[in-house]
Structure 1
Amino acid sequence: MILASAPDLLVVGEAADGADAVPAVRTHRPDVVLMDVRMPRVDGLAATAAVTALDGAPRVVVLTTFGLDEYVFRALEAGASGFLLKDTPPRDLVEAVRVVARGDAMLSPGVTRALVERFAASAQDGRRAAALARLEPLTDREREVLVAVGRGLSNAEVGRSLFMSEATVKTHVSRLLLKLGCSNRVQVAILAHDAGLLESR
């Protein structure tokens, strides 16, 4: 009801649980999927991994009751573009779908920092070495954009902070995703944190 009330959004299908998610995505080809974390048969984590592995995969937003639910972190690693709490106000839920559909992660800077810090808490040395190795092909400018994305900035905010047009920022972000083998901005932010690039921020 909430999503259908927005004139620019169309609800094309629903799935009863994670097991039904992949067939529903194949049938309806949505741009964005809202995925519950805890579901019978197949949970949201497994369903997110399966959906994001499809050709032309939609962006996945994970819904959870708890802001620091361990399943959410694993779902983000599986390719989700962000998460929302189930008590998110209707207006914010609709806007989050729009943001993710545009290609941005819908996490606030504070939430992004909390997520990446939680990810990097274990095996930090090994993760840092691996992250630094992945960053070697980047240019200096791409590293600057990487840090800005890691801080949770939108494309417009990155452009203002680095004196670039939003179109140029989008080009840099697309190159970052390709070079780093990341599927979304959240994974780029995690990589920047693992590499130690956000510690002085």
Structure 2
Amino acid sequence: MIKVLIADDQEMIRSSLEIILSCEDDLDVKGVAKNGVEVLEFLEREPIDIILMDIRMPVMDGVLCTKKVKKRWPQTKVIILTTFDDDDFVFSALQYGASGYLLKAGDLDTLHHAIQTVYSGGAMINPGIARKVVDLFSQRQNTPIIQVEEESVNSLSELEWDVVYEIGHGFSNKEIAKNLYLSEGTVRNYLSRILSKLHLRDRTQVAIWAVENGYIGRRS
């Protein structure tokens, strides 16, 4: 069972998500919180696998809470729930370690799939947000979020570059395996090597780095 915590300052959203997600056989909704402070207090009492985190909350917003969660409980995954006009928060939330970035208006099947994907080590970003992130990165070329040493970049093999390309386009391990005619286990091994070579924390950072530097257009 995937242990889930829902954090949103709107009671209707908290209650609706709690009721709906509790009906899924593989999910165990452990509780709800209305701000980042309550999230941290909850984690002090009980471990959680996935936090569904509203990005705009009073007392402590989702960005700062994500930073604190990932620093103290690095194994806990965060999926940010947002509206489409939260540009100022996109970069910080991803930089601090959020594994997912979804629109609140999205369908529940997508949310359930995102929880499963993030729990298994993947990343999930809404396609509309992904396109917006690409545009925003292109406007901020002089202020890169993710920096990697040139020597580390040059150490990537051609197949590792192909995996970077796929990650930069938001594909899951399963999709990458299909696209590159590899097994999922092989993809996971390549991802581990990429993270080790680039000294990055997770696939989300790889995706940000790839988009920032224009590597999503590269093919071997």
Match of 2:174 in 1: 156
Post-superposition shift, 1:10?
0.1
**Is this contact kept in 2: 1:131–1:192, CA < 8 A?**
no
**Is this contact kept in 2: 1:129–1:195, CA < 8 A?**
no
Match of 2:15 in 1: none
**Is this contact kept in 2: 1:31–1:59, CA < 8 A?**
yes
**Is this contact kept in 2: 1:60–1:81, CA < 8 A?**
yes
Post-superposition shift, 1:101?
0.9
Out of 172, 195, 198, the position equivalent to 2:213 is 195
Out of 109, 113, 130, the position equivalent to 1:91 is 109
| Distance in 2 of aligned mates of 1:151 and 1:129 | 17
Q: Which runs of 5+ in 2 are unaligned?
A: 1-18
CA gap 1:158/1:79 in 2 versus in 1, 3 angstroms = same
Higher RCO structure (Cα 8 Å, ≥6 apart)? 1
CA gap 1:22/1:57 in 2 versus in 1, 3 angstroms = farther
| Distance in 1 of aligned mates of 2:176 and 2:36 | 36
| Distance in 1 of aligned mates of 2:110 and 2:66 | 22
Post-superposition shift, 1:116?
3.5
Post-superposition shift, 1:110?
5.5
Task: List aligned pairs for 1:1-201, cutoff 5 A.
Answer: 1-66=19-84, 68-108=86-126, 111-122=129-140, 124=141, 127=144, 130-131=147-148, 133=150, 134-199=152-217
Is the strand fraction higher in 1 or 2? Answer: 2
**Is this contact kept in 1: 2:77–2:98, CA < 8 A?**
yes
**Is this contact kept in 1: 2:149–2:198, CA < 8 A?**
no
- 1:12-46 per-residue CA deviation (whole Å, 9 max, x = no partner) reads 12223111212212322111101111111111110
> How many equivalent pairs are there?
200
| Distance in 1 of aligned mates of 2:55 and 2:193 | 31
Match of 2:11 in 1: none
Post-superposition shift, 1:166?
1.2
Post-superposition shift, 1:7?
1.1
**Is this contact kept in 1: 2:155–2:197, CA < 8 A?**
yes
Post-superposition shift, 1:56?
4.1
Which amino acid is the alignment partner of residue 54 of structure 1? R
| Distance in 2 of aligned mates of 1:119 and 1:94 | 28
Q: TM-score, with normalisation over the residues of structure 2? A: 0.79
**Is this contact kept in 2: 1:62–1:72, CA < 8 A?**
no
Post-superposition shift, 1:6?
0.6
**Is this contact kept in 2: 1:132–1:195, CA < 8 A?**
no
**Is this contact kept in 2: 1:156–1:166, CA < 8 A?**
yes
| Distance in 1 of aligned mates of 2:116 and 2:138 | 29
